[in-house]
Amino acid sequence: MNFNNNYLEINLDYCRASTGKRFVNYIIDVIVFYILAFGLGIVIGVLKPSLLVGVDDLSLRLVSLLFYGIVMFVTEAMSNGRSIGKLVTGTRAVNEDGSDMSFQKIFVRNIVRAIPFNALSALGTPSSPWHDRWSDTMVVDEKKLALQTQRVDLFDSVKNQTQ
């Protein structure tokens, strides 16, 4: 029996998370970020209110962008490529070859998020924002990835039995 080798490969384009899921990830992650930022602002306001005096709008926005990248980095580093939004939607960030990301890759991916207008780069189908392109990563739907893995395992076992 002749098996086509395409069955022995995981189709990561099929597993790519939809633009809608990525948008939901972003909305959930931004809500979580604002809750954390608000809490941090209260703590700073109580413990050291002088830090908040004289902060202009531009510097507050730049610090917020950097803080967002750091929060996302810590979250994805602790949960193997998943943020709170990704946990809710069943998606995960991986390398372009489907393997788990290294600590350095997670860092680059999430510091790029601090670039203004990064969110606008996610518009389009398939969604490929700068933080994915510049770090050679992608977000996959975990259920689709599991199905692809099971398919590869099934055909590999059938192939081994016929040899």
For 18-58, what is each residue's pLDDT tens digit?
A: 999 999 999 999 999 999 999 998 998 899 888 878 778 88
Mean pLDDT of the chain: 87
Nearest to 90 by CA among 150, 147, 31: 147
**Residue 88 lies in domain:** 5-161
Q: Per-residue pLDDT averaged across 60-68, rounded?
A: 88
pLDDT-wise least confident of 50-54, 98-102, 108-112, 151-155: 151-155
Question: What total number of domains does the chain contain?
Answer: 1
pLDDT above 70 for 4: no
The two tokens of residue 131 are: 């933080």
Q: Using CA atoms, how far apart are residues 24 and 127, in angstroms rounded to an integer? A: 12
Q: Which two tokens stand for residue 70?
A: 């750091």
Gyration radius of the chain over CA positions: 20
Q: Is the pLDDT of residue 63 over 80?
A: yes
Res 117 pLDDT > 60: yes
pTM over the 0.75 mark: yes
